[in-house]
Chain A
Amino acid sequence: MEAMPEWLTAAEVYDPPTDKDRFIDKSILSFIGLISKIKQQSGREHDRLWVSPVFKLAFTILYIVLVSSTREFTFVYIMLTYIVLVLAALPAPDIRKCLRGALIATVFTYIILLPSALHGNSYSITMIPVKVFASITAVNILSYSTRWDHIIASLKRFHFPDMFIFVFDITIKYIVMLGEFALQMLYALKLRSVGHNKSKYGSIGGVGGTLFLKSRAMSEEMYSAMECRGFTGEYHVTDKFKFSVYDGVYCALNAGFIWMFVYFQNLA
């Protein structure tokens, strides 16, 4: 048996030069965050807060309109209390996620409005951050407590065209599919990025460009698959709407909010 060559026994010291390639890590993180958010909520069997998604969507938009229109701090305060109360009914992980986005936006708003407050505009700094917090929390509660396919399907009740609902639904599904594909490319790029990567721009262009080509290919495939199954361009959304007791209570509660809004408007 031949002796092992010397170069094989010598310990190899390879210290790759460090490189600033945080754009790969950051892109990977944003894609993972996105995909996990969609997957998490679609894995749920039931919606939280037993109200029909049709009403949830309608009244969430109503809260945002009312909060945005009012000039009465008392009304904003009441709405905020209600929204925080509903938030308290969610499980802890959802609360954390809801609050995270809302608090970042609120702090950002405070910072933006600070110079105007220093010039004596006290109204904006007291009202707008609270309104921003209430609006974003309301949308986040809707988003975290309801399956997204249910929200999309409830658009049917608002007379959105079926084709629009179809496109919207496809969008969510393909954000996950194309996102996973992009993620795999980014992992591959990360694994191969040892030492100094001279063509960072080439890499990102390649990943983005391939993603576009893949989306073209996927849409061709999907169209063919749908045609094979008899798709003629007509798409019908079935409406499975049932009015429950909870919906009744919820509607009554929201009628109360509208009354309160009108009352405060007249007071002003």
Chain B
Amino acid sequence: MHIPDNYLSPSTCAVMAAVMVPVWAVAIKKVKKEVTKTKMPQLGIFAALSFLMMMFNVPLPGGTTGHAVGGTLIAILMGPSAACISVSVALMVQALLFGDGGILSFGANCFNMAFVLPFVGFYVYKFVKERFASKGGETAATILGSYFGIVVASLCAAVEFGIQPLLFTDAAGQALYCPYGLGVSIPAMVIPHLAVAGPVEVLFTLLIVNFVKKVSPDMIEEAPAKKTKSIWGLVLALICLSPIGLLASGTAWGEWGADELAGMTGYTPGGMKNEMGLKILIPDYSVSGMPEVMGYIVSAVLGVAILVIVFKLIGNVKKDDVGVPAQAK
């Protein structure tokens, strides 16, 4: 999932790096609270560990092998904030010293693998674990967490690739960076992760978490007993960040004329179809008198609000389910 340089435009890379700055700041603050300044050497050793976890070959059926990223694993073992920092340092070592993953695209790679992957993975893990407090529930939590973590991270990478031909084309309408739109990039990135990389990640995470639990159960970092409200924060942040990224890239969302679309469909018909579909999905998009940029922000806020409502309703139903037998007793 390491994005090399020149697949993303420098402005996208700058936006992704800018997005990571507050994430790193918050992660460092959180880690500092848990790890005292004098215990800082730990972070270096954990970064080395996250680097090495990516080197393991996991046996797959038929004698083949596969690689895992191990982001969720690191998050389960030592908390998502520490995972964010150590995976970022590991990615920096890879980019700067091993030529693996781009230098400009470092921010984007960190966003996908050091932020989205461990945080989504960890909070899905925590969410499931809290609701099903049995051994099986914990296993299910590990499986779902690591699977969702890597799949959502690959989706983010796919979106980063997919917006390139929409935003950056030359006068002739030819893409300057990754030429494939969302219609191509999403299936191309997400399907292999759903089918192969996801299960490998699940297998690797499960094996190591189970081993550590069996051998030394107190070693697994217990996150503070805060309820998983922060997952809504994450969902909110993810939704808010993508439009900001698009806006900061200098092109307003939805400004493409029909002729531009036609010019682009010459080689990315799938992606364009998708975009047209989006426009139809949001008919209120060009409210008269409202700039399109505003329209996009408003629809993002609306999207967030709808999601919160849906999740709250689901949460409420769940609470009622739990409440009834307790009262009956």
Contact = CB atoms under 8 A, between A and B. Distances in A.
B59 A61 contact: no
B195 interface: no
Interface stretch (A9-17, A83-91, A135-143, A249-257): A135-143
The 4 closest A-B pairs by CB, nearest first: A170-B44, A20-B63, A205-B207, A209-B211
B310 interface: no
Nearest to A206: B211
Given A68-B10, A131-B5, A170 B48 contact: yes
Contacts of A61: 103
A208 B211 contact: yes
Interface residues of B, number: 69
Contacts of B89: 167-168, 171
Contact of A65 (B55, B100, B104): B104
A184 interface: no
Contacts of A210: 211, 215
A131 B167 CA distance: 19
Contacts, number: 228
A34 interface: yes
16 contacts: A22-B64, A67-B6, A123-B175, A135-B5, A171-B47, A172-B93, A174-B47, A175-B93, A200-B59, A201-B203, A204-B207, A206-B211, A208-B53, A211-B53, A212-B77, A219-B42
Give chain A's interface secondary structure class: helix
Interface in B174-221: 174-177, 179-180, 203-204, 206-208, 210-212, 215-216, 219
Contact of B103 (A64, A105, A123, A235): A64
Nearest to A108: B4
B10 A65 contact: yes
A2 B56 CA distance: 53
Given A205-B208, A212-B208, A213-B219, A116 B267 contact: yes
A123 B170 CA distance: 9
B215 A174 contact: no
Interface centre among A173, A207, A209, A211 (most CB of B within 10 A): A209
Interface string A87-108: 0000000000000011001000
Contact of B58 (A69, A204, A226, A227): A204
A128 B165 CA distance: 13
Contacts of B177: 124, 128
Interface centre among B36, B56, B58, B64 (most CB of A within 10 A): B56
Contacts of B211: 202, 205-206, 208-210
Interface residues of A, number: 82
Interface string A231-244: 11101000000000
A64 B5 contact: yes
Contacts of B102: 64, 135
B39 interface: yes
A80 interface: no
Contact of B52 (A64, A116, A178, A216): A178
Given A208-B207, A212-B219, 9 more contacts: A20-B59, A68-B10, A124-B175, A132-B5, A135-B6, A136-B4, A172-B48, A174-B45, A223-B38
Given A143-B96, A172-B93, A205-B211, A27 B57 contact: yes
B49 interface: yes
A163 B41 CA distance: 9
Contacts of B172: 123
Interface string A181-206: 01000000000000000001110111
B44 A213 contact: no
B99 interface: yes
A178 B5 contact: no
A71 B169 CA distance: 10
B99 A222 contact: no
Interface in B15-55: 36-49, 51-53, 55
Interface centre among B9, B42, B180 (most CB of A within 10 A): B42
Interface centre among B52, B53, B62, B210 (most CB of A within 10 A): B52
B90 interface: yes
A23 interface: yes
A30 B55 CA distance: 6
Contacts of B210: 205
A75 to B, nearest CB: 14
A120 interface: yes
Contact of B44 (A27, A166, A206): A166
Contacts of B65: 22-23, 26
B215 A209 contact: yes
